[in-house]
Structure 1
Amino acid sequence: MPHIRIRSRHQPFEIAVLVTAPVCGLLLIVLDVRPQSVELAMPAPIQVGWESGLILVGITGLLGVLWPGRLSTALGIELAAVLVLATLTGMYAVALTVVSGRQAVAAASFIAAVAAGSGWRSLEILLDLRRMVRASQLARADPLAAGGGR
């Protein structure tokens, strides 16, 4: 089987965000507080989904990063989490910008960077999964190339 390079699964910034997301979601729910931008820009059911989404994303993402089984399964779980994380953080960046305008430039920029980083990581995972599929197809098509005939 040809050598394929899978990007590092130990992404410190991604892991830091995935650890922080459920903590934030839990604190929002337990303390029954929300950022003013979220309260003003999102209807109540969307707020609940946003808060619980933070919890779900963090737990799911960490599960994918720590998955002990097949690499493709781990990457798929991680991909789902970072795609949703990109959506949730994008929602928050938009809410900040809509409600606070120029006053939210710093905060919205940092949150938008998390959304962009999540999107970037999603693309990396998709490319890794695609490489794995191609390598698997090559190995099935040419068993000698995979070392099966030696």
Structure 2
Amino acid sequence: MGGRPLTLATGRHPFEVSTLLAALIVGVALQLGGAVTPRSVSTAMPPTIQTVWAIGLIVAGAVGLIGLAWPRTALLAGLALELAGVAVLGAAATMYSIALYAVSGAQAIAAGGFVSAVAIASWWRWVQIILDLRRLGRAADVGETMDVPLLLDGDR
């Protein structure tokens, strides 16, 4: 075997899984009328954007979870789906954070702090996946993909 092991930061972390699942459930509840749109969202966003936001939650959750569950034998496809899911989640959480602070100011510190943390974590994961995809691409360019052991951080 050739060079150093190629280690990727995998998803499937309980925080990521639970956040994507929550996004899916909340988005579906909002779209089916099982949940009331938060006041900050209905005040700060026009109706069309509210619908896009709720559908974004559904897409983020569904696509992200599919990416996490994707077979490891097709790692690039799974990472691409996870990347799309966390990007949409990051956008939706960022939109909600802005709406919370725009409408409620300092009163939004509790809810806004948690939603902002989800946005930051989503963008952070997005960067990790981009870096992992670059590492895989460089290994493929060098022709080492078959000679370099691939370690997923959950496999240690």
Partner of 1:50: 53
The answer on 1:124 being equivalent to 2:98 is no
| Equivalent residues, number | 144
Deviation of 1:72 after TM superposition, in Å, equals: 0.9
Deviation of 1:98 after TM superposition, in Å, equals: 0.5
Point out which structure has higher relative CO (alpha carbons under 8 A, 6+ apart): 2
1:62 to 60, 65, 68: 65
2:15 to 13, 16, 35: 13
State the identity %.
42
Any idea what SS the aligned residue of 2:9 has?
coil
CA distance in 1, matches of 2:69, 2:40: 34
Superposed, 1:1-150 pairs within 5 Å as 2=3, 3-31=5-33, 33-68=36-71, 69-139=73-143, 146=147
Please, what TM-score do these two structures have when normalized by structure 2? Answer: 0.86
Superposition RMSD in Å: 1.8
Deviation of 1:29 after TM superposition, in Å, equals: 1.8
Deviation of 1:33 after TM superposition, in Å, equals: 2.0
* 1:32-67 deviation line (CA, Å, top 9, x unaligned): 620000000000000001111111110000000011
CA distance in 2, matches of 1:9, 1:81: 11
Is there any run of 5+ residues in structure 2 with no aligned partner, and where?
149-156
2:100 and 2:112 in contact (8 A); partners too: yes
Please, what TM-score do these two structures have when normalized by structure 1? Answer: 0.90
Matched to 2:70, the amino acid is W
CA distance in 1, matches of 2:98, 2:44: 9
Deviation of 1:20 after TM superposition, in Å, equals: 0.7
Deviation of 1:146 after TM superposition, in Å, equals: 3.2
